[in-house]
């Protein structure tokens, strides 16, 4: 049996970075390198239907060991890709055994140091085995910790048929980091009633609430002239765009001024020429009312700015991105209840949290698969200081196995 650590070290060495600018699906074909390996390993465990579909999704079924009727089919899901923000090529994982709490200097770039004073939850790990990258890449614990944990749990269940559980589905998605992780998932084929993404942070955490999210694009049409003869006529779309940005609140409603349950308006992209400029924003809030208020504010700011430019116009296009999963999960309290119970059974004090972001689960929940997020132990993700502890990964494996049993017992 391959331990969760062995699996993790094997998976992070495979570069699976996704690419937001790619039009193909999955966005990078190298993601299949890991997905293919996972299929092979699942088949070696005896999971015969494990396969990679044409879009890069891995589907697999652990058959039921219980004869009880009516056990809901549950699914565990993780993503194989890593963030486009930091290189994921040639990851050299390092295991710091029985860590004594001293600063961890990463050898390939000594300016990269893990310090208890700077990284939250690290102080909980003294005496544990910490895995980091070597300083020049991310580690990829987001979300290969989750992948390794689901694989290790599958391994355990397939070799301990005395453990009673219903049908368990496994789903590994591509392209979560570029927001397309659920785009081509086939939920009918998956055939699960409830799901859990294993992509959370600290041991014992369960996330049942995400932002609701929209994208908003403002296209500004200015009045273009030869700049030598623009007096009284030229209305520069770039300057109109800059005025809109300058009119955003300075002390509120931005990522840099908000926390916890506060939402924000966040410009993420701008380009243009004097005739036409495009501004992209992401809008985030935990409630749809809050989301709409922020969108109205941005529309009002745009209108007010345009009053100074009578020949110019703007077009506003809103795109729904994802919605707070809590709305769905509240209708299925057993999904959260069973996860909390599973965590308690393995000796954890579970903590329910919200995420200031989205997960594959936010979309899956609205597509018909209620799907909160359970911890994988990953920390400082999307950075070169990313770390995970072996003990937290082992705990996550125990939670997954226990959760399968809880669903069987409660059916």
Q: Which residues are annotated as a binding site?
A: 79, 142, 177, 199, 382
Q: Does 31 bind Zn ion (CB under 5 A)?
A: no
How far is CA 144 from its chain centroid? 12
> Per the annotation, where are the binding residues for Zn(2+)?
79, 142, 177, 199, 382
Which of 240, 376 has the CB closer to Zn ion? 376
Which of 143, 338 has the CB closer to Zn ion? 143
Which of 157, 339 has the CB closer to Zn ion? 339
Q: Does 173 bind Zn ion (CB under 5 A)?
A: no
Other residues' Cβ atoms within 10 Å of the Cβ of residue 29: 12
Q: Does 199 bind Zn ion (CB under 5 A)?
A: yes
Size of the site for Zn ion (CB under 5 A): 3
Tell the smallest beta-carbon distance from residue 79 to Zn ion (Å): 6
Which of 200, 222 has the CB closer to Zn ion? 200
Tell the smallest beta-carbon distance from residue 131 to Zn ion (Å): 16
Which of 65, 173 has the CB closer to Zn ion? 173
Tell the smallest beta-carbon distance from residue 293 to Zn ion (Å): 29
**Could you tell me which residues are beta bridge partners of residue 354?**
209
Could you give the string, one character per residue 117-156, with x where binding to Zn ion holds by CB under 5 A and - elsewhere? -------------------------xx-------------
Catalytic residue numbers, as ranges: 81, 176
Tell the smallest beta-carbon distance from residue 373 to Zn ion (Å): 9
Q: Mention every residue, 6+ apart, whose C-beta is less than 8 A from residue 334.
A: 194, 410
Question: Rounded to an integer, what distance in angstroms lies between the CA atom of residue 251 and that of residue 311?
Answer: 32
Dmax (CA) of the chain: 84
**ω into residue 92 within 30 of 0, thus cis?**
no
**Could you tell me which residues are beta bridge partners of residue 213?**
284, 322
Which of 61, 365 has the CB closer to Zn ion? 365
Tell the smallest beta-carbon distance from residue 176 to Zn ion (Å): 6
**Could you tell me which residues are beta bridge partners of residue 388?**
131
Question: Rounded to an integer, what distance in angstroms lies between the CA atom of residue 329 and that of residue 208?
Answer: 7
Yes or no: say if 280 and 268 are a contact pair by the CB < 8 Å rule.
yes
Which of 142, 394 has the CB closer to Zn ion? 142
Which residues contact Zn ion by CB under 5 A? 142-143, 199
């Amino acid at each position: 049996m391959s331990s969760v650590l062995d699996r993790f070290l094997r998976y992070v060495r495979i570069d699976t970075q996704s690419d937001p600018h790619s039009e193909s699906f999955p966005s990078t074909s190298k993601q299949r390198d890991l997905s293919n390996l996972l299929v092979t390993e699942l088949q070696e465990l005896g999971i015969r239907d494990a396969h990679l579909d044409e879009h890069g999704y891995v589907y697999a079924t652990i058959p039921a060991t219980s004869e009880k009727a009516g056990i809901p089919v549950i699914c565990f899901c993780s993503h194989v890709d890593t963030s486009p923000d930091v290189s994921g090529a040639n990851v050299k994982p390092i295991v710091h055994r029985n860590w004594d709490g001293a600063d961890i200097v990463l050898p390939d770039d000594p300016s990269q140091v893990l310090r208890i004073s700077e990284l939250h939850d690290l102080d909980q790990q003294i005496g544990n085995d910490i895995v980091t990258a070597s300083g020049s890449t991310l580690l990829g614990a987001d979300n290969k910790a989750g992948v390794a944990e689901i694989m290790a749990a599958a391994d355990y269940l397939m070799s301990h048929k005395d453990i009673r559980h219903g049908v368990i589905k496994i789903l590994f998605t591509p392209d979560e980091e570029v927001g397309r992780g659920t785009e081509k998932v086939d939920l009918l084929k998956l055939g699960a009633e409830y799901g859990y993404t294993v992509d959370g942070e600290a041991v014992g955490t369960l996330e049942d609430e995400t932002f609701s999210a929209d994208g908003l694009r403002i296209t500004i049409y200015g009045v273009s002239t030869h700049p030598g003869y623009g007096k009284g006529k030229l209305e520069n779309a770039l300057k109109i765009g800059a005025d809109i940005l300058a009119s955003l609140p300075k002390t509120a409603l931005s990522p840099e001024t908000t926390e916890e349950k506060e939402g924000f308006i966040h410009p993420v992209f701008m380009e243009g020429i004097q005739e036409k400029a495009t501004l992209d924003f992401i809008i985030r809030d935990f409630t749809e009312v809050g989301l709409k208020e922020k969108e109205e504010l941005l529309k009002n700011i745009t209108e007010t700015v345009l009053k100074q430019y009578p020949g110019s116009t703007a077009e506003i296009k809103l795109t729904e991105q994802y919605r707070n999963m809590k709305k769905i999960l509240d209708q299925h309290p057993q999904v959260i209840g069973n996860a909390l119970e599973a965590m308690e059974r393995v000796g954890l004090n579970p903590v329910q949290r919200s995420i200031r972001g989205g997960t594959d689960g936010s979309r899956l929940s609205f597509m018909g698969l209620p799907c909160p997020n359970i911890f994988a132990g990953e920390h400082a993700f999307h950075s070169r200081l990313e770390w995970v502890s072996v003990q937290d990964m082992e705990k996550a494996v125990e939670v997954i196995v226990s959760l399968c049993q809880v669903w069987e017992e409660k059916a």
